[in-house]
């Protein structure tokens, strides 16, 4: 019987994408081994007594930080982790096509790095990371695996009364990276042609600056936290999912849209290439700079053609019934391939491979 213990460090008490992914990892792993959950904010106060098997999520935020002033303190944290490690691994992503030199140096100190897409692995390898890198996608929880649709009652009622077509777009943060400006321009053109098309924007508690321009459209704005069942219900209520991101390591919202059999428009590049065959690809027009002064993500991303975006969105609206039947087939494949059960099993086997579990 396995008795191995792993210390899993992540932002435990914050509502971040990292946190939700970490919780799914932990939920699966605790079926078989002991997991000590550590909030990254208290990591520096822990007195290690002997070598540990440690996972960090995400590696570079925990060890470098997202602002330059964090670096000195985080370097001491990293030194301490290296001193008391038995095996040291973690999870990282790439929001652009390059990471900084200090990121490469840091990642090369790890025994294994888990990334969510083939593109992220290629970016790290291109930048000089020679530590072991394994692709471990994000997964779909049980609400996204169900066959039967459920709905957000008030929104479904509006949709039925107005014979509306609802476009779903997620804007919790990083509006430029997630193509909010392109969504605003494309949807404006579409709404000028179709009086029954509405944009549904799901955002977090904090308001992204691009919300201002999106509110100028015929828009429903849903703010705050939703549990996973409510989130799946939102997808089921809407008709088309928009994800013209310029960068990102996986973009789970797009995969969730496909899993709920919704025609989903995605950038035909970067992380989307792992599952673009199940989506409607948007032509890339050019490369573009995404961040200024980011200590981790220093490269470029991919901007879709606005003309192609508008054309593909109009096509999806005009052929919605046929596309929904096509995406029902895609949904079955995606649900099977990306269930959290399968992702958790893969993680467990990889941890055995790299000596975290013996």
Predicted confidence (pLDDT) per residue in 316-341, tens digit: 999 999 999 999 999 999 999 999 99
Domain ranges of the chain: 5-139+340-353, 143-336
**For residue 37, with 0-12 CB atoms within 10 Å meaning exposed, 13-18 middle and 19 or more buried, which class applies?**
middle
69: confidence class by pLDDT, cuts 50, 70, 90: low
As a whole number, the mean pLDDT across the chain is 95
Please write the tens of the pLDDT for every residue from 280-328: 999 999 999 999 889 999 999 999 999 999 999 999 999 999 999 999 9
What topology is assigned to 143-336 in CATH?
Rossmann fold (3.40.50)
Q: Which residues contact 152 (CB under 8 A, 6 or more apart)?
A: 230, 233, 234, 237
Measured over the CA atoms of residue 76, residue 82, residue 87 and residue 90, the dihedral's sign is: positive
Domain 5-139+340-353 matches domain 143-336 at the CATH topology level: yes
- Domain covering 5-139+340-353 in this structure, CATH number: 3.40.50.2000
Angle, helices 320-337/306-318, rounded to nearest 10 degrees = 100
Please write the tens of the pLDDT for every residue from 182-231: 999 999 999 999 999 999 999 988 899 999 999 999 999 999 989 999 99
Please write the tens of the pLDDT for every residue from 221-258: 999 989 999 999 999 999 999 999 999 999 999 999 99
pLDDT at 68: 67
């Amino acid at each position: 019987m396995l008795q191995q213990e792993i210390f899993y460090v992540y932002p435990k008490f914050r509502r971040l994408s990292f946190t939700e992914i970490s919780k799914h990892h932990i939920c699966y792993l605790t079926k078989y081994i002991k997991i000590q959950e550590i909030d990254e904010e208290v990591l520096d106060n822990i007195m290690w007594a002997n070598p540990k098997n440690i996972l960090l999520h995400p590696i570079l935020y925990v060890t470098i930080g997202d602002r330059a002033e964090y670096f000195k303190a985080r370097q001491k944290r990293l030194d301490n982790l290296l001193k008391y490690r038995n095996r040291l691994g973690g999870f990282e992503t790439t929001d652009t096509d390059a990471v900084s030199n200090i990121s490469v140096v840091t990642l090369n100190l790890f025994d294994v790095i888990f990334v969510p897409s083939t593109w992220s692995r290629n970016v790290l390898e291109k930048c000089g990371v020679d530590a072991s890198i394994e692709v471990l996608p994000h997964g779909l929880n049980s609400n996204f695996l169900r066959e039967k649709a459920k709905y957000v009652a008030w929104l479904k009622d509006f949709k039925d009364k107005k014979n509306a077509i609802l476009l779903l777009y997620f804007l919790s943060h990083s509006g430029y990276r997630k193509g909010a400006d392109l969504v605003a321009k494309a949807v404006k053109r579409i709404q000028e042609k179709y009086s029954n098309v509405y944009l549904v924007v799901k955002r977090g508690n904090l308001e992204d600056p691009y919300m201002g321009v999106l509110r100028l459209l015929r828009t429903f704005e849903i703010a705050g936290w939703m549990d996973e069942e409510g989130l799946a219900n939102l997808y089921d209520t809407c008709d088309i999912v928009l994800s013209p991101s310029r960068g990102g390591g996986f973009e789970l919202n797009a995969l969730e849209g496909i899993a709920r059999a919704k025609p989903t428009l995605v950038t035909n590049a970067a992380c989307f290439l792992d599952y673009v065959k199940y989506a409607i690809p948007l032509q890339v027009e050019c490369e573009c700079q995404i961040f200024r002064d980011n200590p981790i993500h220093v490269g470029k991303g991919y901007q879709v053609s606005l003309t192609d975006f508008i054309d593909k969105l109009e096509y999806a609206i005009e052929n919605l019934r046929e596309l929904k039947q096509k995406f029902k087939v895609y949904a079955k494949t995606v649900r099977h391939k990306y269930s959290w059960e399968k992702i958790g099993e893969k993680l467990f086997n990889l941890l055995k491979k790299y000596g975290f579990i013996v």
